[in-house]
Amino acid sequence: MKIQFLGAAGEVTGSRHSIEVFLSGRSRRFMVDFGMFQGGREATNKNLEPLPFAAKDLDFVVLTHAHIDHSGLLPRLCAQGFSGPIYCTSATFELLKILLPDSAYLQRSDVDRAERKQKAGKWHGEMPVALYSREEVEMALAQLEVLDYGQVISPLPGIHLEFHNAGHILGSAIAVLDIEEDGQQKKRCVFSGDIGMKGKVLMPDPDLISNADVLVVESTYGDRLHRSLQDTEKEFIEVVSSTLQGHGNVVIPAFAVGRTQEILFLLIDLVKRGLLPHLSIWVDSPMATAATHLTQHFFSQLDTQSQETFAWFKDHPAAVDLRFIADVEESKALNRIKGGAIIISASGMCDAGRIVHHLFNNLPRAQSSIVITGFQAYGSLGRRLVDKAKKVRLFGEEVLVRASVHTIGGLSAHADQAGLLDWLKGFTASPKTVFVVHGEPESSSVFAATIREELGWQQVIIPERLHTYQC
C-alpha cells in the first residue's frame, strides 16, 4: 500500500491523501478528502496544480467532513473526470449542499468584482481565479453517497469502510478502512480527519478507535493548549461588554459551519446565566443561516448542554435580539450601524464573503473590536490581523487597522495537544506507522516529538507534500 500526501503536509489546509493498493491483480486508487488550499496567492497556485494521476482513475473518495479545506476541490476533481462515489455522513451531505454552491458563488463574485475594478483602473495586484462553476458543483453533489456512523460498506472487494464520530463539526467523521491487498495481511488504516475537543460546546466527544496499522492524524494545535472554557468565557465577556459600552461594534469572522453555531450558543448561554445583558446579534451569512437551521434539524446529535440552552432560548426569544441577514441590501445596511451590534459573518479566515465588507467599515474605527475565534492560515487576511498588521488591503484599497483585535482560542473546533494525546491514548497498541498532517511545520514537529516521548510510539512521520510512502 502506498500513500501520497497531496495537501495538508507541512500546512493546515488542502487535505487530500491518495492511497494506492493492489487488489484482484491490479492497482486501485482512492482518496481521503479533497480539500482546497486557503491563504493567499500561493494557495491558489496549489489549487490549480494538475494531479499526479488521472482523475478518472480514482475508484472512490472518502470525505471526513464538510469544511472547505477538506471538501472544497471536489467539484474540480469531478470536472477533471472523476466519476466514482464520494462517501460521507448524512449531515456532511446536507452541509455540502450549502457550502459548495456558496464556494462557487464567492469565487465567481470575486472574479467579477476584480474585473470591474480592473476596467475602472482601481484594481492592484493578482487577479482572483474561479476554480469551478455552479454546474460542476452539481456534478459533485450527484456523486455523494451517504453512510451512517457505524455502518460498514465495501467500496471495492478487499476494502471495508466505516465512519466514527470525530466530534469536530456536525457530520464530522474518523474514517476507518480495513484493506486486504493481494497476498498481504489485512491492514487497518485510520484517518482522523479533524478531531474535536473533549467537553466542547455543541458536539459530543470524539469516538475512540482501539487499533490501527497506519494512522493519519491531524496536528492543527499539536504544539499548544487551548484556554479553558471558563477563561474563554471571561475574556469573551470582557471584550463584548467593553466594546458595546464604548459604542462600538463587535465583528466576529466565523466559519459558517460549526463556529457560528458555537458562538451563538455561547452568547445565548452567557445571557441565560446573567453574565451578559440583552444582546443584538446579526448573523450575516446565508450559508451560516442555512447551517444553523440544519443544526436544528440534527438537534439529537448535539451535546446535552447545547440542547438545553437552545431549548431555553426558544422559551425566552426576547432575551437575545437574533437576526439572520438574507439579502445583500440588508447586509449593506449593517455598515450604517456605528455601535451596539454583534456581527457574525463568514468567511472565517476573512479572505472572502460578507465579512470583508464589515472589516472594511469597522477596522478603521477604534471603538470597534474584531474577535478572532478560529485558526488563521498563513497568507490569509485573518492571519495578518492576528499578527497585528497596522494596515491591510481590502478591495484594492489600503485600510488602517484602528479597531482592537482579540484572539480567543478556547472556542476552537480542533482538539489541542492534550486533547489529541487523549484521543491517541484510546489505541490499545502503537500503530505501525503514524503520519502527522494538517499542521504548520512547528505544530506538526512538536506534536510528533510529543507522541514519541509521551506514548513511546516510534514510527512517527511528518510527510512531505507530493511524496509517496510505502506502508
pLDDT digits (tens, 9 = 90+) for 231-247: 989 999 999 999 999 99
The answer to whether 212 touches 233, Cβ cutoff 8 Å, is: no
Computed over every residue of the chain, the mean pLDDT equals 93
pLDDT at 40 over 80: no
% of the chain with per-residue pLDDT over 70? 100
Question: At how many degrees (to 10) do helices 259-272 and 229-245 cross?
Answer: 80
Among 76-80, 351-355, 462-466, the range scoring the smallest mean pLDDT is 351-355
CA 282/CA 285 separation, integer angstroms: 9
Q: Which residue has the cell 450527484?
A: 142
Give Cα 201 to chain centroid, integer Å: 16
pLDDT for residue 298: 85
Identity of the residue numbered 297: H
β-strand partners of 370: 251, 405
The closest of 170, 164, 201, 92 to 427, measured between CA atoms, is 164
pLDDT tens column, 143-172: 999 999 999 999 999 999 999 999 999 999
pLDDT for residue 408: 87
The answer to whether 161 touches 62, Cβ cutoff 8 Å, is: yes
Kindly indicate the confidence band of residue 264, based on its pLDDT and cuts at 50, 70 and 90: very high
Domains within the chain, CATH numbers bracketed = 2-224+413-470 (3.60.15.10), 229-411 (3.40.50.10890)
pLDDT for residue 39: 78
Q: HSE of 377 in the Cβ direction (CA atoms, 13 Å)?
A: 24
Task: Output DSSP code: residue 453.
Answer: I
Burial class from Cβ neighbours inside 10 Å (0-12, 13-18, 19+) for residue 399 reads: middle
Kindly indicate the confidence band of residue 253, based on its pLDDT and cuts at 50, 70 and 90: very high
What's the grid cell of residue 255?
466559519
pLDDT tens column, 185-219: 999 999 999 999 988 778 889 999 999 999 999 99
What's the grid cell of residue 323?
437576526
Mean pLDDT of 431-437: 98
Residue by residue, what is the 3-state secondary structure of the chain? CEEEECCCCCCCCCCCEEEEEEECCEEEEEEECCCCCCCCHHHHHHHCCCCCCCHHHEEEEECCCCCHHHHCCHHHHHHCCCCCCEEECHHHHHHHHHHHHHHHHHHHHHHHHHHHHHHCCCCCCCCCCCCCCHHHHHHHHCCEEECCCCCEEEEECCEEEEEEECCCCCCCEEEEEEECCCCCCCEEEEECCCCCCCCCCCCCCCCCCCCCCEEEEECCECCCCCCCHHHHHHHHHHHHHHHHHCCCCEEEECCCCCHHHHHHHHHHHHHHCCCCCCEEEEEECHHHHHHHHHHHHCHHHCCHHHHHHHHHHHHCHHHEEEEECCCHHHHHHHCCCCCCCEEEECCCCCCCCCHHHHHHHHCCCCCCEEEECCCCCCCCHHHHHHCCCCEEEECCEEEECCCEEEECHHHCCCCEHHHHHHHHCCCCCCCCEEEEECCCHHHHHHHHHHHHHHHCCCCEECCCCCCEEEC
